[in-house]
């Protein structure tokens, strides 16, 4: 990522971002919880992209070079945690479940960042306790490094509805099916069908944030029917696309 900006201390604040707005690559000396209470947030590092709707937050460890992008109108909440604290013990970006209590704690904490009262200290302590207890959810689209995988993934990123199998895609980039199957596991840590499903879910979140109808999202992301899309979405996020749209 070129033009990396170094911000010694990550901010604790709330801010709004318009659809398509982005924050360029930067890093902080401390950890950060990044949460969008409205819209869908994408955080990208050299290792890939993490996408989070309003039921998820993203843990960004200290020193991680990352950028942000808004899908839909975004209300962004950023919480700073000193590098020596690390209540989750995580060394890599991770998507976290955000339940109703954690959501309200994050909103309250980031909307009054200059308040140094004892009440705020107690709120922060409860917030950290909730973070330690919150489940982790792997909503991560890893980035390939092998040139053959880069080419295959680029074809699917251009059209997530592309139904071609790995043999057909491999023929386009000059690589055999067995070689690509091995590379997906070795380079990305998942199978080809798993990666494609993650890609489709990421694109679906972005389209839903833009107000696209559920049936249209299903078609544009490659599901055979709206019901098939709803089933996969529910299993990934714990609620239906319709319920997700109401959370925006």
> What pLDDT score does 53 carry?
85
**Treating both helix axes as pointing N-terminal to C-terminal, what angle do 192-209 and 147-158 enclose, rounded to 10 degrees?**
40
Calculate the average pLDDT of the chain.
Answer: 89
Question: What is the separation, in whole angstroms, between the first and last Cα of the chain?
Answer: 30
Rounded CA separation 31/86 (Å): 7
pLDDT in tens, 139-187: 788 999 999 999 999 999 999 999 999 999 999 999 999 999 999 999 9
CATH of 144-247, one of 3.40.630.30, 1.10.287.610, 3.90.226.10, 1.10.10.60: 1.10.10.60
b/e for 126-136, b at 16 or more Cβ within 10 A?
A: ebbebbeebee
| Least confident span in 9-23, 42-56, 118-132, 151-165 | 9-23
**179 or 245, greater pLDDT:** 179
Following CA atoms 218, 41, 63, 142 in sequence, which dihedral angle do they give, to the nearest 10 degrees?
A: 0
Rounded CA separation 12/247 (Å): 23
- pLDDT higher than 50, residue 1: no
What is the arithmetic mean of pLDDT over 30-46?
91
| CATH 1.10.10.60 domain residues, the chain | 144-247
The CATH class of the 5-140 domain is mainly beta
Per DSSP, the residues of 30-91 read SEEEEEEEEEEEEEEETTEEEEE-TTEEEEE-TT--EEEEEEEEEEEEEEEE-TTT-TT---
- pLDDT higher than 80, residue 66: yes
Q: How distant, in Å, are the alpha carbons of 9, 73, 136 from that of 60?
A: 13, 22, 13
Rounded CA separation 13/19 (Å): 19
Rounded CA separation 167/146 (Å): 17
| CATH 2.60.120.810 domain residues, the chain | 5-140
């Amino acid at each position: 990522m070129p033009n990396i900006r170094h911000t010694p201390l990550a901010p604790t604040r709330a801010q709004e971002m318009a659809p398509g707005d982005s924050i360029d690559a930067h890093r902080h000396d401390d950890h950060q919880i990044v949460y969008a209470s409205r819209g869908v947030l994408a955080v990208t590092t050299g290792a890939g992209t993490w996408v989070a709707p309003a039921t998820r937050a993203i843990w960004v460890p200290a020193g991680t070079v990352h950028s942000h992008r808004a899908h839909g109108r975004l209300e962004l909440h950023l919480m700073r945690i000193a590098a020596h604290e690390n209540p989750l013990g995580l060394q890599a970006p991770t998507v976290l479940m955000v339940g109703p209590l954690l959501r309200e704690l994050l909103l309250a904490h980031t909307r009054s960042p200059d308040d140094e009262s004892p009440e705020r200290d107690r709120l922060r302590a409860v917030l950290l306790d909730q973070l330690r207890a919150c489940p982790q959810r792997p909503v991560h689209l890893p980035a390939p490094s092998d040139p053959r995988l880069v080419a295959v993934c680029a074809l699917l990123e251009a059209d997530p509805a592309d139904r071609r199998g790995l043999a057909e895609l491999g023929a386009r980039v000059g690589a055999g099916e067995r070689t690509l199957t091995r590379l997906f596991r070795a380079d990305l840590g998942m199978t080809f069908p798993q990666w494609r499903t993650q890609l489709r879910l990421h694109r679906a979140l972005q389209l839903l944030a833009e107000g696209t109808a559920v049936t249209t999202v299903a078609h544009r992301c490659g599901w055979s029917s709206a019901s098939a899309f709803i089933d996969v979405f529910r299993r990934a996020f714990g609620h239906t696309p319709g319920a997700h749209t109401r959370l925006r």
